[in-house]
């Protein structure tokens, strides 16, 4: 399978290039980054001291040499790349977070023309955690205050993380609610007492934290905490490759990591 990587000089882009190079069933054929980036023209494996012969480019028509693009960039970049994927009939694994409603609708529309896996977290552990949360939310559906906490590195630009949002959505869905209707995104000043049935969010940014998430179910006399902590980005890269292999069998459609992991 011929793989293209977007955001080749980014934290995830580099992890993905290394993972593809080390996967015998996958071939790196395209490495993208944005116009003006200092990495354009460099060998995609240069940061590893490795010569791949694939030079990082901003030419999206290079996607004609790929079967699947793996994209961890920014929403505006991903949506531009997705148009090129549709044009060149290339499948797409999207790990980027922070899309607005219009962005999510554009992904949905593109999935009628190509096959897409879109997930805010590609790690097997996080996706198992989402299953545990669904079970906990169904059992603890009254008398428990739910709070979602996430911590990430100082360079993360969106908040709450896509994973924290997915965790909140999982609890809200289990309660028959929409997250937007019951979320408290932040608290400051004289907030008054906490209301029942809300989901609170809190966010920490600092240093090189890869990604920590905890959902608290706080009751009277007890507290349940369901936590996931990432210590390496490898899990995101390996999950993305699994998603790309899954798409080899699909023509079009929108899938998530639960689809990938249950196949
Ligand atoms: N689903 C998952 O499992 C995971 C998702 N993520 C998400 O992936 C995304 C990227 O994270 P990370 O690798 O840490 O970020 P980085 O900032 O390290 O890398 C982003 C890369 O994308 C490039 N880029 C930025 N804007 C554009 C654009 N408009 N068009 C094309 N390329 C662009 C950057 O180029 P330049 O440096 O020139 O700006 C850089 O190479 C985030 O949304 C993050 O939340 C991260 C980890 C796991
Ligand atoms: O930006 C990151 O680093 C991460 N982003 C994803 C998110 O927003 O949930 C996944 C992971 O937590 C790392």
Q: Whole-model pTM above 0.95?
A: yes
What pLDDT is stored for residue 83 in this prediction? Answer: 98
Pocket flag, ligand 2, residue 127 (CB < 6 Å)? no
Tokens matching residue 35: 């116009």
Q: Give all domains of the chain, ordered by start, each with its CATH number.
A: 2-118+233-261 (3.40.50.720), 124-230 (3.30.360.10)
Q: How do residues 209-234 score in pLDDT, each as one tens digit?
A: 999 999 999 999 999 999 999 999 99
The yes/no answer to whether this complex scores an ipTM above 0.85 is yes
Query: Do the annotations mark residue 34 as ligand-binding?
Result: yes
Measured over the CA atoms of residue 48, residue 50, residue 54 and residue 58, the dihedral's sign is: positive
Pocket flag, ligand 1, residue 34 (CB < 6 Å)? yes
Tokens 């079009």 sit on residue: 252
Q: Are 9 and 39 in contact (CB under 8 A)?
A: yes
Q: How do residues 79-105 score in pLDDT, each as one tens digit?
A: 999 999 999 999 999 999 999 999 999
Mean pLDDT of 256-260: 97
For residue 165, which of 218, 232, 118 has the smallest C-alpha distance? 118
CA angle 10–36–62, rounded 5-degree value? 75
Find the 97 Cα to ligand 1 centroid distance in Å. Answer: 9
Q: How do residues 112-165 score in pLDDT, each as one tens digit?
A: 999 999 999 999 999 999 999 999 999 999 999 999 999 999 999 999 999 999
Q: Using CA atoms, how far apart are residues 215 and 201, in angstroms rounded to an integer?
A: 9
Find the 121 Cα to ligand 2 centroid distance in Å. Answer: 7
Task: 196-200: list long-range contacts, CB under 8 Å, 24+ apart.
Answer: 196/142, 196/145, 198/145, 198/146, 199/146, 199/147, 199/148, 199/168, 199/171, 199/172, 200/145, 200/146, 200/147, 200/148
Q: Using CA atoms, how far apart are residues 258 and 128, in angstroms rounded to an integer?
A: 9
Give the number of whichever ligand sits closest to the CA of residue 73.
1
For residue 107, which of 7, 253, 263, 258 has the smallest C-alpha distance? 253
Pocket flag, ligand 1, residue 7 (CB < 6 Å)? yes
Q: Facing residues of 228 across strands?
A: 213
Ligand 1 atom nearest residue 98's Cα: 43
Q: Using CA atoms, how far apart are residues 108 and 103, in angstroms rounded to an integer?
A: 9
What are the C-alpha distances in Å from 214 to residues 129, 167, 203, 211? 10, 9, 11, 10
Query: Do the annotations mark residue 96 as ligand-binding?
Result: yes
Query: Which alpha helices (DSSP H) does 140-174 contain, by range?
Result: 162-174
Query: Do the annotations mark residue 119 as ligand-binding?
Result: yes
**Across the chain, which distance is largest between two alpha carbons, in Å?**
61
Ligand 1 atom nearest residue 33's Cα: 32
Pocket flag, ligand 1, residue 9 (CB < 6 Å)? yes
**Residues with catalytic annotation?**
152, 156
Q: Among 10, 155, 163, which residue has the most ligand 2 atoms within 8 Å of its CB, making it the best to mutate?
A: 163
Q: How do residues 45-67 score in pLDDT, each as one tens digit?
A: 999 999 999 999 999 999 999 99
- The radius of gyration of the chain's CA atoms, rounded to the nearest angstrom, is 19
């Amino acid at each position: 399978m011929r793989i293209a990587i977007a955001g080749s000089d980014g934290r995830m882009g580099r992890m993905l290039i290394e993972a593809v190079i080390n996967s015998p069933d996958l071939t790196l054929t395209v490495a993208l980054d944005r116009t003006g980036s200092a990495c354009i023209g460099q060998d995609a494996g240069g940061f590893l001291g490795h010569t791949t012969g694939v030079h990082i480019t901003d030419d999206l028509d290079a996607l004609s040499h790929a079967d699947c693009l793996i994209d961890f960039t920014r929403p505006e970049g991903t949506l531009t790349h997705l148009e090129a994927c549709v044009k060149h009939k290339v499948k797409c694994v999207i790990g980027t977070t922070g899309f607005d409603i219009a962005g999510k609708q554009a992904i949905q529309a593109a999935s009628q023309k190509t096959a897409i896996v879109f997930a805010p977290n590609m790690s097997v552990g996080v996706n198992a955690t989402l299953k545990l949360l669904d079970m906990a939310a169904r059992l603890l559906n009254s008398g428990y205050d739910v709070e979602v906490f996430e911590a990430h590195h100082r360079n993360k630009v969106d908040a709450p993380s896509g994973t924290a949002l997915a965790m909140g959505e999982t609890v809200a869905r289990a309660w028959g609610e929409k997250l937007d209707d019951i979320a408290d995104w932040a608290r400051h000043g004289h907030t008054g007492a906490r209301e029942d049935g809300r989901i609170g969010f809190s966010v920490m940014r600092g240093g090189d934290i890869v990604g920590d998430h905890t959902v608290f179910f706080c009751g009277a006399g007890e507290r349940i905490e369901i936590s996931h902590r990432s210590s390496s980005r490898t899990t995101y890269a390996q999950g993305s490759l699994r998603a790309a292999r899954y798409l080899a069998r699909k023509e079009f459609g929108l899938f998530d990591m639960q689809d990938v992991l249950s196949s």
